Amino acid sequence: MAHQQESVEFAPAKRMDKIRYAIRDILFEAKRVEDQGIALTKLNIGDPAAVGGFKAPAHIIEAVRKAWADHKYAYSPAAGILEAREAVAADYAKHGVKVDPDHVIVTAGLSEAIRFLLTATINPGEQVLLPRPTYPLYVTMLNELGGEASHYDLDESQDWALDQASIEQAAGPNARMLVMISPNNPTGRVFSKDDLQKVIDFCRKRRLLLVMDEVYNRLAYDIEGPVMSVTDLDFEGVPLITMNGLSKNWLLPGSRVGWMVFHNTHLQKGVLDAIIRLANARLSGPTPHQYAVKAALEGPQDHLIQLRKDLELRAQAVADGIAKVPFASVVKPAAAFYAMPRLDLSHPSLGGRYSSDTQVVVEWLRRTGVVTVPGSGFGQTLGTHHFRVVTLAPPEVLREAMASLAVLAS
């Protein structure tokens, strides 16, 4: 017999109201545009395996293939296989930094490391200092946890260098952690020794946990090897966690392997213990893929030579395309695969038609199929407007896509 009851949709939890991720949210609009028969040029997700034809080095793939073939697909220890943790520790030793493999946790991508980190340290109402603009996952997860993001500034007029004074202004009495992303997503900035030192000194003075997200640290166009880190400076007295993974430097985003490294562990024993408990509760990271870590860190790094060249060409192509748009400008990135062009909404060629970067990005998408992410998804200085573009597509595609923004000018 058919049920007479009125059908009622089952609702998600209240906390989901605050969960947004601009980088993927734009795809809802993109789908509508595609359904109308307009081909998309997707420049919104930083996935080098999906865009631009970049391939991970064969020796890393072989390490993973062998792990599957050797039936190494049991749960791993929650903190990760010893071989991977030892390889991470050995990589730090190469750069003169002593790390205990027991102070390395292998995670399912840095995304899981960020979740562990914030879950284990931030109570509701407590503050995390993040750059502005920032990679948005930190903010999304803080929203989920009831923590508060407070932003220090990157100064666009100084090629997105750290605005040192803004750190003091951002830190309220409840500040507990400062996150630095170097090289930075979305600006492509590599931070200077002076900026790194400032951050160390500030965290020491205010007793903050310092977190370095270094997922792009081999991708500075004119630097061979990793960019300078706080671990190259004197960080005594500062609880420090550094994070990296296979997604970007080694072109394996779908492997979902990242790691977090605890330094000055005597200053954060409870945090390490809490994160191990979180790792235990989810049983294991992806085991066979963890066999890529030693291969990635200890094998040939030749792929980086061509990759850096390719990325620099693409950054230049974005700058060339933007130069053709009367109401846009861009700081050319120095690393990674993003740029954050600025929009001048008061430019006469726009005739006052737009009051937000979201409106520009959506209208541009509807007219041309070019998919970028509004700057508001990353945080930006009040009164400024931007969009973020992923610089992985071939240079000619990027040049043309950026120049196509001029269709909005009259």
Residue with tokens 């000018």: 409
Least distance from ligand PLP to the Cβ atom of residue 136, Å:
9
Cβ contact 142:124 at 8 Å: no
Residue with tokens 């931030």: 122
- C-beta of 308 vs 388, nearer to ligand PLP: 388
- How much of the chain is helix, strand and coil, in % rounded to 5? 45, 15, 40
Q: Are 398 and 318 contacting, i.e. CB atoms less than 8 angstroms apart?
A: yes
Concatenated DSSP letters of 236-287:
TT--EEEEEESSSTTS-GGG--EEEEEESGGG-HHHHHHHHHHHHHT----H
Residue 322 CA to residue 331 CA, distance in Å, equals 10
Stretch that binds ligand PLP, among 71-79, 108-116, 228-236, 371-379 (CB under 6 A): 108-116
Compute the least distance from the CB of residue 101 to ligand PLP, in Å.
20
Sole window of 10-18, 109-117, 123-131, 151-159 interacting with ligand PLP (rule: CB under 6 A): 109-117
Q: Site for ligand PLP (CB under 6 A): which residue of 26, 30, 46, 84?
A: 46
| Total number of residues that touch ligand PLP (CB under 6 A) | 13
Nearest approach in angstroms of CB 339 to ligand PLP is: 14
Provide the terminal-to-terminal Cα distance of the chain, rounded to the nearest Å: 63
Min. distance of Cβ 121 from ligand PLP in angstroms?
A: 17
- Token digits of residue 66: 């062998």
Which lies closer to ligand PLP via its Cβ, residue 269 or residue 282?
282
Q: Which residue has the tokens 């039936």?
A: 71
Structure tokens given for 1: 């017999």
Query: Tokens 């000619």 sit at which residue?
Result: 396
- Hey, what's the torsion of the CAs at 382, 386, 387, 389, to 10 degrees? -120
- x-marked contacts with ligand PLP along 252-281 as a string, rule CB under 6 A: -x----x-----------------------
Query: What is the rounded distance in angstroms from the CA atom of residue 153 to the CA atom of residue 165?
Result: 9
Q: How far is CA 98 from the centre of its chain?
A: 26
- Residue 374 is a binding residue for ligand PLP (CB under 6 A): no
372 touching ligand PLP, by CB under 6 A: no
Decide: is 290 part of the binding site for ligand PLP (CB under 6 A): no
Question: Which span sits near ligand PLP by CB under 6 A: 73-81, 104-112, 121-129, 160-168?
Answer: 104-112
Taking the least distance from each CB to ligand PLP, the nearer of 249 and 268 is 249
The DSSP bridge pattern shows strands 328-329 and 342-343 to be antiparallel
Give the nearest distance from C-beta 335 to ligand PLP in angstroms. Answer: 11
Site map (CB under 6 A) of ligand PLP, residues 174-213, x = contact: -------x---x---------------------------x
Residue (33 or 373) nearer to ligand PLP, CB: 373
Name the phi and psi angles at 382, rounded to 5. -50, 135
Interface positions with ligand PLP (CB under 6 A): 46, 109-111, 135, 181, 185, 213, 215, 245, 247, 253, 258
